Amino acid sequence: MLNIFYILISVILYAISFPKFNLWWFSFIALAPFFWVLDNANSAFKKIFYGILWCLGFSFGMGYWVFFTILNHYEVPFAKSVLFFTLCVVIPVVLIYSGFVILYRFLHRDRLFFYALVVPSLWVLAEYLKGVVSFLIPWGGIEYALVPFPEFIQIADLTGGYGIMFIVVAVNSLFVYFIKNLKSVRTASINQDKGSHTTCAISVVHVFAPLILIILLIVIPVVYGMHQLRKIDLSVAQEYKAGQSVQAVLVQGNFSTKERWSGMGFYQRVMNYLELSGENPGEKPVEKRGDEGQGGKRVIVWPENTLNSSSKLNDALFVEIMRYIGEDSLLISGGLKTDQTTNKVFNSAYFISGAGRLLRYDKHILLPYSETSPLIDLLDTYYSAPNEFTAGRTPFCINAPGGKVGASICFEILYPGFIRQSVKDGAAYLVNISNDSWFGDSPMPYIHLNAARLRAVENRRFLLRTSNSGFSAIISPTGIVTKQSSLFTKERVQGDFVKLDQLSFYARYGNLVLFGSAMILLAALIQVVIRRD
């Protein structure tokens, strides 16, 4: 029963580390009770049982919103919603972390190498699987819980988000090793002969090695982060001083899902967005020609699927939008694109320049079971919304007027390698358009925003994020939100940003932490083979 209690504590600490509780400091100890149970369970069966128990707690604690989304947003019957949640959330998590538990047991040694390097390597590689398997989503990574700790996450420009995950899991694991050694020392001290002090002295050194490592793993990123915060802020301030800033206008329409997909009111919604996008928001859009379009440079961003009626997206509509926004404005809007020859439907972002250019980005990474059905179709058709999209093949980086843009749609922001590639290809700033209304008032809109903030730090780029119902935000290269909307409000977010061109270490070289984790795991496997021989 005590072990089950530890599992429960681990799950609770993990969940409350994230929004909306935002008790991020618990992430440094949230996994320790789980690892403690794995160390002390006296059989393989018990380890796997406790691992499955933790997975069940994790699935419900972090993913309960999925069930209510399917039930309420897609209006799927209760029994089918339970089936979806079980097949698409619980079982994948159980399979991945059961593999972690098995390897944990197989590679386990009471050595500093195992707790400091092997355990975090196993965890990082298990999490990485979520991003490479087509029917999984890389959600719930512990690195997103640390985003409210800005000094700590700046090291992501070297290591990426997986590096932060590695460090945090290592702290948890080393804490277990520290407690185990402390317990051993106390036991040895009780049984020790009064005249002998050598064993005790050696044991004390042995105990405090993991504690010193824990302190270093927290202090070094914080010191580095404090330095980087000052450095990046100074660099951005110089760009502002040099007059290189661009105005960003993020429009959050907050239309309900039924309003957006009922097939009614398309033109009225477009007009509402144009009204909120103008220089005098709230006024009826005025067509701009000639010198009237020579205002300050602006980037306007509308949410995912705003232009969601393919039959109404024609040259005449785009020309009218171009005239309304003005010659020096770039509008980036989510929409649909239907290929007339193949009838393939794309979830797209349109880049509409007031100077007369029209470009498009098609979403590459489709949301399993909503935009594509990799295994089985469990969701019903929702009004006029397509239930099957085609993965895009457009460039990651869009060569838009005024500078290259790294585009992403919705969940693509959870894939660090994908965002990194757009920056490596030359993106001077990042844009993420989304629709988080179907999450409801769950932790996911907050976690989604945190993911965007971490991508900004990794690549040292400003990121403009717009969501239909929030959160819409202008995010600095340090991950700080400079302007932000509320949740479930109709509003306009306006601020300035600058375009940057220097590549961070992470943007240049990628996820070296994954390679290092694989090498550590290989070394641990070799150790096991040699020891058994």
Q: What is the mean pLDDT of residues 13-25?
A: 95
Helix (H) / strand (E) element for 481: namely strand 481-484
Give the β-pairing of 491-498 and 358-362.
unpaired
pLDDT band at 454; cut points 50, 70, 90: very high
The pLDDT tens digits of the residues spanning 471-501 come to 999 999 999 999 999 999 999 999 999 999 9
- Reference 110, options 216, 183, 14, 186; nearest CA is 183
pLDDT band at 12; cut points 50, 70, 90: very high
For the residues of 288-339, what is the DSSP string, one character each?
--GGGG-SS-EEEE--TTSB--GGG--HHHHHHHHHHH-TTEEEEEEEEEE-
The pLDDT tens digits of the residues spanning 27-52 come to 999 999 999 999 998 888 999 999 99
Partners of 434 in the β-ladder = 467
| pTM (two decimals) | 0.93
pLDDT at 292: 40
Task: Return the ∠ at Cα 445 (arms to 371 and 399), rounded to 5°.
Answer: 60
Q: Does residue 290 carry a pLDDT above 60?
A: no
Distance CA 518, CA 526 (A): 12
pLDDT band at 282; cut points 50, 70, 90: low
Rg (CA), the chain: 25
Distance CA 132, CA 164 (A): 19
Distance CA 300, CA 332 (A): 6
Q: Does residue 373 carry a pLDDT above 90?
A: no
Distance CA 343, CA 180 (A): 62
Q: What is the mean pLDDT of residues 247-275?
A: 88
The pLDDT tens digits of the residues spanning 345-357 come to 999 999 999 989 9
- Reference 472, options 496, 454, 489, 497; nearest CA is 489
pLDDT band at 379; cut points 50, 70, 90: low
Distance CA 168, CA 24 (A): 11
Task: Return the ∠ at Cα 426 (arms to 423 and 431), rounded to 5°.
Answer: 55
How large is the greatest C-alpha to C-alpha distance in the chain, in angstroms? 96
Q: What is the mean pLDDT of residues 215-225?
A: 98
Mean pLDDT of the chain: 89
**CB-based burial, 169-199: b 16+ in 10 Å, e otherwise:** bbbbbbbbbbebbbeebeeeeeeeeeeeeee
Residues with Cβ within 8 Å of residue 234, at least 6 apart in sequence: none
Give the β-pairing of 245-252 and 298-301.
parallel
Q: What are phi and psi for residue 495, nearest 5 degrees?
A: -170, -175
For the residues of 102-127, what is the DSSP string, one character each?
HHHHHH--SSHHIIIIIHHHHHHHHH
Distance CA 347, CA 370 (A): 12
Q: Strand runs (DSSP E) across 363-401, as ranges?
A: 397-400
Domains, the chain, in order of start with CATH, read: 2-234+512-532 (no CATH), 245-498 (3.60.110.10)
**Do residues 171 and 28 touch, judged by C-beta distance below 8 A?**
yes
Tokens found for residue 52: 């499955």
Tokens found for residue 54: 């933790």
Partners of 484 in the β-ladder = 473
Helix (H) / strand (E) element for 407: namely strand 403-409
pLDDT at 279: 73
Distance CA 52, CA 91 (A): 10
Q: How many CB atoms neighbour CB 263 within 10 A?
A: 11
pLDDT band at 378; cut points 50, 70, 90: low
